[in-house]
Amino acid sequence: MVILIFILGFFYGAFATSNILFPIFYSLPRSIRMRCSGQLKKTIPMTQIIMPSVIWIVITCAILWLVDKWSLDYLEAFGGAMFLSFLGTLFQARNTWRDLEKDFNSTWGEFIK
């Protein structure tokens, strides 16, 4: 069962960390840079960029709390797997830069000149 929890934690961690980190460390600075250089028709609301990350943080904390209430052994496996996926997400960030740019342009295209 611990192996299953580890696998679930790894996949959840990869999905959650990318949804937490990339909006904050890619979309937010890029939208600020574009606003300062005048490349936007109208300002992108910062709450729309930051709120998904906040929601994912709340969901992750709730899942960690539930796993902690279930079993401490499972929390160690789940948390360790999430940490490994976090490191993997950080090391793969440069490889996904082009995909992030496409995603940013498709999501916020109505704001870009």
pLDDT tens sequence for the chain (113 residues):
889 999 999 999 999 998 998 888 889 999 999 999 988 888 889 899 999 999 999 999 999 999 988 887 789 999 999 999 999 988 887 777 888 888 888 888 888 88
pLDDT score, position 11: 95
Q: Give residue 111's pLDDT.
A: 87
Q: Is residue 85 within 8 Å of residue 19, measured between CB atoms?
A: no
Spell out a b/e string for 48-85, using b for 16 or more CB atoms within 10 Å of the CB, else e.
Answer: ebeebbeebeeebeebeeebeeeeeebbbbbbebbeeb
Pick from 53, 78, 51: nearest CA to 63: 78
The whole-number pLDDT of residue 9 equals 93
pLDDT at residue 12, as a whole number: 95
Question: Which class for 110: exposed (0-12), middle (13-18), buried (19 or more C-beta within 10 A)?
Answer: exposed
- List the structure tokens of 69: 């209430």
Q: Domain count of the chain?
A: 1
Range of the domain at 83: 2-111
What pLDDT score was predicted for residue 90? 86
